[in-house]
Structure formats: C-alpha cells, structure tokens
Amino acid sequence: MWRSVLLAAIFAFAYAGVAAQPVWQANLDSKVSFYQTTDFGLVLAGTERSLYAIDGRTGERLWRRETGRINETAVTPVPDTDLILFTRDLGSKSRLEAVDVITGESVWQSDKVKGDVMQLAVEPSADLLAVVLVKDAKGNAGSELKREPVVHVLRLSDGEELWKKQLDGDVEMMPSRLGEGLGEIPFTLDNYRAPLLIDGRLFLFYDGATSYDARTGKEKEREKFRINEDGLALTEADPVIDDSKIYLSGRGRLRAVDRRSGNVVWKADDVGNAAEMVLVGSTLFVRTGGQFTRLRDGEQEAKGPYGVAAIDVTNGDVKWRYKGADKGLTNFIFADANTILIADRDDLISIDARTGKRKEKFEHKIERAQFVLLNERGDAVVGGRDEIAAFSLHRSERQEGRNFQGVRYALTDVRASADELAPADAREVWRVRHKAPSRGAFRVIAGIALRATALYFRYGGFATSAFGIARGGLNLASAANSFRWSGLRSRFGSFDLTTLASSSARSYLSHRIYTFGSLARTANLANRASGIQLIRGNIARRVTPSGADVRESVLDRLDPTRYAERLSEYLLRRQRLAELRGNHMYFYTDIKKPFDRKGLVGVNIHTGRDSRFILVSDPDAQFVTDESVNLLYSSDGSKLQAFDVLPS
C-alpha cells in the first residue's frame, strides 16, 4: 500500500512542474466567445470575428469561416449526422445553413427562417428536420425574458421548408450562463424538453403538449398547461416511448398518446408533478417531485410532493404509490428487476417495484444529496456537489467483508476504513469528500465546482441503472432521444445534478451516421471505421462554397489518401465516443502537495479512489472534457487550450 502511495507521489512530483501547461494552444483571431465539442472529436470555437473547427486531439485549426460576432446559440449540431446548423443575421435578413462539420462547407441554405436554433428534432430516414427558433433572445442574467418560438419543418436533404408555425404566446426562457456581472447574454429554451419527431408526427412541449402531422403541420392534439412550475427548469419528465404509445406528463397528469394517430388513449389524473419516468414491461414508474434549477439565479430548489408511483400502461390505473420520501428527492434507479432505489435528504431507500412497499432505509449522510447511481460492482453511489459515497446492497457480501478495503490514503484525501464505521454505517463501502477551493469569488468557484461534477453525466454515466438500460421502454426512448437536441448537452453546468442524472441515460450516441457532406463523398470509409454504419443522405441540391465561406481549410491541402485517413480518424473518434461511459466524477478542489494548487480530481465511481488529476487552476465557465482523448478544454482570451487528464 505504502509503495503505491510513494509511486503516486513520485509521479505527481514529476508532473507538478509541467502538467499545468497546456498540451496544445490554438491562437485564434480574437477573444473566444464560446466553444463546444462535437461527436467527431472536433471543437467548434466562436470568436468575435470567426467560427473555427479545431482538432480536439492536436489543436490543429481545420477550417475557419468569417462570421462576425455570433452567439453560442448560432451553432447547433444535428444528431447522428455530419451536419451543424449555423444561423447568421445579414443586415435585415437571416440565413440558416447546414454546414459540413468536417470541412466547414455549406450543404444547403435557407433564408426563410429568423433567429437562432434553440432546439431540434430530426428523422433522417423520413428526410425531416424540425427546428425551433427564437429571435432577439438576449437579456441580462437574473432577468425574466419571454419570447414566441417559431417552429419550421424542413427537408433535411436540401432545407426546403414544408411548413412553419408560430407558437401561441410567449414562453419563459433560460439564460445560457448564470452568474453576476455577465452583462447581456443569450437566452435559451434549455428549460423545456426538446421536440420529438416520430412516426410522422411532431410533438412540442412549450405551452403544453401539442402534436402535428410532420409533413403538413395539421394540428392533431393540444392541451395547454404550464410546463415549468414556479420559474423552475425541466420540472416535467421527458417523454417515454414504447411500440405503440408515447407517455407524456404535465399538470399533475399522465397521458398515453397513440404514436400513429396522435389520439390520447388514456389519462391518469392527480399523479403529481412527474419529473422522471421509466417504462419497464407494462408498468410506467414515475418519480414525483425532486430538485430543480431556478431560472433567475441557477440555484437548486426542492419541490414536492415527493414519491414514486407505478402506472399500468394498458389503462392508466395507478398500481401503487410510495410517499415515504422526504424533502430533496433525487433521481431513481433500478438495482434489479424488483428493486427501486431513491435517496432523499437523509436516507437511501429501496422500494419493492412490485408492491411499492419499502424494503430498506438507511442514512447516507451526504449533505444535500442530488443523485443516486449504480456502479459496475452493484453498489449504490449517492452524491452531491462535493461528496460521494458508495453503499453495498447485498447483506451477505457485506457481512463477509467483500467491499471492506481498510484504511486508504490518497494525495488529496484520507478515507475511513469500513472497520472504523459504526454498526449503523456498516453498509458504507467508501466515501470521498472534496470541498471547493476557498480562494476566489464564491459564485465563480461554485459554478466551476458544479460544472466539474456535472461532467460525469454528459456521457450518460455508467448506465445509471443497468436494469433500466437493458430492458423495458427506456431503450426505445433512448433511440428516439438520440435524434433530438437541446442545449442541455453543452450547457449542462447550469443545471442541478438531479436533472442531469435523470436525463443522462438517454443521451448516448448511436453507431450510425447519416452523411450529407464530405463523408458521403468519400468511398470505403465505412470499412475503415469499424463499428460505424454510414448512411448516405439524399442531397437534392448543393451549395457551391465561395471563398468567403471557408477562409482556411487544412483538408483542402491534403492529398486523397491523407484526406481519407483523416476522415477515418474522425469516424473512429465518433465510434469511441459512442461506446464511452463515464467512470470518473470530477470535483474542483484544492489539490494538496506535491501539486499544491487548485484543479480537478477525478474519483473513480467503482472504487472510490482519486485516480485522475487535471491541473488547471482557473478554467473558464465553459470548460469541458473529452474523455475519449483525456483532455480538458478551456479558453483564455483569444486562446483555446487543452490540458492533460493525468492518471494517479
């Protein structure tokens, strides 16, 4: 044990003097306004003058387009394709472009839309793209901003508009960043569930639940109700889908909607505020109440009534309700086919999924617990912003001491052994606490700390509930959600951890790509990138890029062989990302000697060990990691930098 600690200390000392320096640095033409990672391992960065695509592994600038100053809401990825949508104001006119993310070239353009794309849904096999845009969505953080969204349904292949609809009335929007002294910033629709395109129908969730015929815009069903309660974000659950129906929540009521006709099959009244739903077999499990993000300041707020209910999906009857949870309810998970786990303010609770009766309850001692997940050892992991602990769910194994590991020392923390725990705490396997740094502005430090912990959920975590992912309707819902986009994916640091834990299992990528740009024009790439299915899109009309579109392009200077190799490399990164599940939860903290500086510590959720370190003392508010290449990205003025993720 002491030998491993000594080796870790030697390793840390060797890196302490150099690892704080960036692995690469891209010098751009002006101050970096925003940046976001893509599924192909490229980083898109917007400055006050241009939009860049940068190789995330090497820092090489691949292409640049002169854009002038644009908002982060001007660039939107189209899931499961090689396209991004780029919106730009040109005097009194606006333009929407579908851009090849690899080369920066325009695939098609439309001048029939105005505003930035806030959310979208896409059904490539039906050649349908639904975009929701908002004009002039800017305001001061902390202020209330309401706008009228407009939905446009286009052909994905050429951007031809099929129909548009301006929604009735203003909806409350959410600031893209939270904090003080930010000035005027973009606002978003991240506080609403993204649209859903399925079976030729478009479902919207802004002023209630409305469905349209996706090709004609004919309205089928509408029920108006307030989506977000009391100025909170995402208080209603994401839709859940099975072979025949879509299950929606709103105003304390659940609805089963026929996927093909759009008709409501049944309603279940007075269920409560349904914040999370999971379908297993013929039972819809619903969490009511929980913890949510307050729009005006980003703070967390608890809202009840708290509990779990089981609904028979054949008729909407309530099978059982569990009301024994206290304030601050987390997400829920399945430990096995018959056991649901939730955590409230004080306890970790197991519920019999067949009867709704409580099986067990014991104290977790996590301050303001915000999530529960299941690690690969089958332990329940409960955590908050600066603490995380694992608990054994198996009595016989616990009594045999399966998980007891004695006293364990780390460079930044000391954990108690299981033998030192009081009998009431004998379930505990390990516990880690990393307090945020005490130096610096409180709101800035708190924002960085929240974003650091939230990084885990960006990749869908380790399948938050192994049973839920493998069986039941959640798998179908995940397939549908992979064709939707909301800023929740890139602006995750603004949300409470309970919301992220509830949504994370639905956010993984598929192993197929609908290609419309350079990937569609390059032969044999599918064989080069094993595991990725390339489906060529039907391009009916192309735009010939002018010199003003793409000012710089590295790919244009490559010979055909190198070009194909480069594209294959991006596909392989996409494959690795599709298979990636997070194993580390990061905490922003004061890292002790020999590092002796602020940085991020990655705790392995399976072992509880500090197994990764990122020596970046003051990352900007938008920092993000790419777990496929073990780098963290952060900007500093006109520089975009990448920092190593160091193993312990």
* Cβ proximity of 562 and 602 under 8 Å: no
Question: For all residues of the chain together, what is the average pLDDT?
Answer: 82
Tokens representing 63 are: 């292409």
- Residue 535: pLDDT band (50, 70, 90) is confident
Residue 238 is classified by DSSP as: P
Average pLDDT value for residue range 395-410: 38
Tokens representing 445 are: 């430090």
* Dist. CA 637–CA 531, nearest whole Å: 39
Q: What is the pLDDT of residues 312-339, one digit of tens each?
A: 999 999 999 999 888 789 999 999 889 9
The residue extents of the domains of the chain are 46-512
* Dist. CA 83–CA 79, nearest whole Å: 8
pLDDT of residue 597: 84
162: pLDDT strictly greater than 70: yes
Chain position carrying tokens 């004061």? 590
- Select, from the ranges 460-464, 479-483, 542-546, 563-567, the one with the highest average predicted confidence (pLDDT): 563-567
* Dist. CA 222–CA 502, nearest whole Å: 26
pLDDT of residue 225: 59
pLDDT of residue 108: 93
474: pLDDT strictly greater than 70: no
Q: What is the pLDDT of residues 85-104, one digit of tens each?
A: 999 877 677 889 999 999 99
Tokens representing 165 are: 């609809």
- Residue 477: pLDDT band (50, 70, 90) is very low
- Residue 406: pLDDT band (50, 70, 90) is very low
Find all residues with CB under 8 Å of 251, minimum gap 6, and list them: 225, 226
* Dist. CA 356–CA 376, nearest whole Å: 26
Residue predicted with more confidence, 176 or 23: 23
Cis peptide preceding 545, ω within 30 of 0: no
Average pLDDT value for residue range 339-359: 94
Q: What is the pLDDT of residues 235-276, one digit of tens each?
A: 888 888 888 888 988 877 888 988 878 788 998 887 878 889
Angle at 366 between CA 363 and CA 370, to 5 degrees: 110
Tokens representing 386 are: 């600066």
* Cβ proximity of 253 and 207 under 8 Å: no
pTM of the model: 0.87
* Cβ proximity of 89 and 70 under 8 Å: no
CB atoms within 10 A of CB 406: 11
* Dist. CA 457–CA 460, nearest whole Å: 5
Q: What is the pLDDT of residues 627-640, one digit of tens each?
A: 889 999 999 999 99
Average pLDDT value for residue range 6-16: 50
Q: What is the pLDDT of residues 43-59, one digit of tens each?
A: 999 999 999 999 999 99
* Cβ proximity of 266 and 244 under 8 Å: no
Please name which of 49, 134, 125, 118 lies closest in space to residue 85, comparing C-alpha atoms: 118
pLDDT of residue 133: 94
- Phi/psi for 48 (5° steps) reads -75, -10
Tokens representing 339 are: 């056991």
CB atoms within 10 A of CB 407: 12
526: pLDDT strictly greater than 50: yes
* Dist. CA 51–CA 42, nearest whole Å: 13
Dihedral sign, Cα of residue 36, residue 39, residue 42, residue 48? negative
* Dist. CA 276–CA 290, nearest whole Å: 9
* Cβ proximity of 363 and 344 under 8 Å: no
Angle at 432 between CA 399 and CA 456, to 5 degrees: 110
* Cβ proximity of 364 and 391 under 8 Å: yes
